[in-house]
Each structure stands twice: as structure tokens, then as C-alpha cells.
Structure 1
Amino acid sequence: MSNTWVKIYTSQQFIKSEIVRQVLVDYEIDAVLMNKQDSSYKFGNVEVYVHPDNFDKAVEIIIQNEL
């Protein structure tokens, strides 16, 4: 992943990260997932990244929606 994206959220549960990503997309913020979980045992993290220009707005949305 390029250095132009910043991590905004991390969870060990894929579905939680996907919900955060989808909420951000609903607010017209480009967000991507990076799944760092082991494919066999499902341990590790799933991270959500946004563009640095959207970081403050994304944090505000996450807090407002209690994600």
C-alpha cells in the first residue's frame, strides 16, 4: 500500500472493520481494508485506511457513530 494512506481503525474482527469502512464510504470517504489475518487460524488484525486529507473527518464520523 502506498504511503499516501493512513491507518484509522484496527480490529481483530473482520466484520467490525468492514462496518467502519462501509460507514466511511457512505459519508463519501474513500476507505480500504488491509486484512493481515492468518488465513488458516484467523488471528491478526484487519485495518482500515483513509487518505490523509480525510483523516480528521473520518475520526469524527467513527466517534459520532460509536464504531
Structure 2
Amino acid sequence: MSENWIKVYTTADAFAAEVLKQGLTEAGIPAVTMNKQLSAYHIGEINVLVHKADFDKAIEYIVENEID
């Protein structure tokens, strides 16, 4: 992935990652998920990434919405 994207959240829960990505997108912050899990075993992590310029806004969104 391009160096213009930065990780703002990591989880093992694919649903939680997708919900966060959708919430960020609806808040005007483009976001993508990067699934690094072994699909057969669901072991590993899923990262939510945003553009570097949106990092502070994304962290603020996560804190305001009390996302753990």
C-alpha cells in the first residue's frame, strides 16, 4: 500500500473494522481496511488505514465515538 496511508486502528474483528471504516467514510474521512488474517483460521489482524493528512481527524473520530 502507498506510503500516503497510515494505520489508525487494529483489531481481530472483521465486522468492527468494517463498521469503523464505514463510520470514518461517512464522516468525510476516506478509509480502507487491510486484512492480514489467515482466512481459514481468522488468526491475525485487520488494520484500518486513512490518508496521513486525515490521521488527526480519524483519531478524534475514534476517541469521540469511544471505539476501543
Unmatched 5+ stretches in structure 1: none
TM-score, L = length of structure 1 = 0.96
Identity of aligned residues (%): 45
Unpaired runs of 5+ residues, structure 2, are: none
1:5 offset after TM fit, Å? 0.3
How much is the aligned-residue C-alpha RMSD, in angstroms? 0.6
Partners in 2 of 1:39 and 1:62 — Cα distance? 27
* One-letter amino acid of the counterpart of residue 10, structure 2: T
Which ranges of 4 or more aligned residues in structure 1 deviate by more than 4 Å? none
- Residue 19 of structure 1 deviates from its aligned partner by 1.1
Residue 40 of structure 1: aligned partner: 40
